[in-house]
């Protein structure tokens, strides 16, 4: 998540919504009621993304929900809020940016 936070600061993002994602994660730590083990070993392929990012006084808050499929296995997709993860190769996330000042007015 630190790499994502660095990119948000570098590009001056104040608010945005995750609209697409592709790539793989080696390990994940998901917040989900469905899984007992918090850290799971993959690799996992990103199927769907949702959530948002917003700049607050303390820094960026990232609320990233993923639907993942374990690579190489025909398994049920798993989903949850990503606390942290290690990228396997590349992970691309598309964020639709919004100007909060214009939304409020």
What is the pTM assigned to this prediction?
A: 0.81
Distance from C-alpha of 51 to C-alpha of 98, rounded to nearest angstrom: 13
Q: What is the pLDDT of residues 1-20, one digit of tens each?
A: 788 889 999 988 989 999 99
Supply the pLDDT for residue 36.
59
Closest CA to 8 of 99, 97, 103, 102: 97
Q: What is the pLDDT of residues 17-74, one digit of tens each?
A: 999 999 999 998 888 877 656 677 778 999 999 999 999 999 999 999 999 998 776 7
Please provide residue 73's backbone torsions phi and psi, each rounded to the nearest 5 degrees. Answer: -130, 145
- The domains found in the chain, sorted by start residue, are 2-97 (3.30.1330.80)
């Amino acid at each position: 998540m630190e790499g994502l936070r660095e990119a948000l600061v570098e590009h001056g993002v104040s608010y945005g919504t995750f609209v697409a994602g592709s790539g793989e994660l080696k390990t994940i730590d998901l917040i989900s009621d469905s899984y007992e083990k918090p850290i799971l070993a993959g690799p996992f392929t990103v199927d769907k993304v949702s959530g948002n990012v917003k700049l607050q006084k303390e820094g960026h808050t990232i609320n990233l929900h993923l639907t993942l499929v374990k690579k190489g296995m025909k398994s049920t997709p798993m989903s949850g809020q990503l606390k942290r993860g290690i990228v396997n190769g590349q992970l691309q996330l598309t964020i639709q940016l919004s100007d909060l000042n214009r939304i409020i007015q």
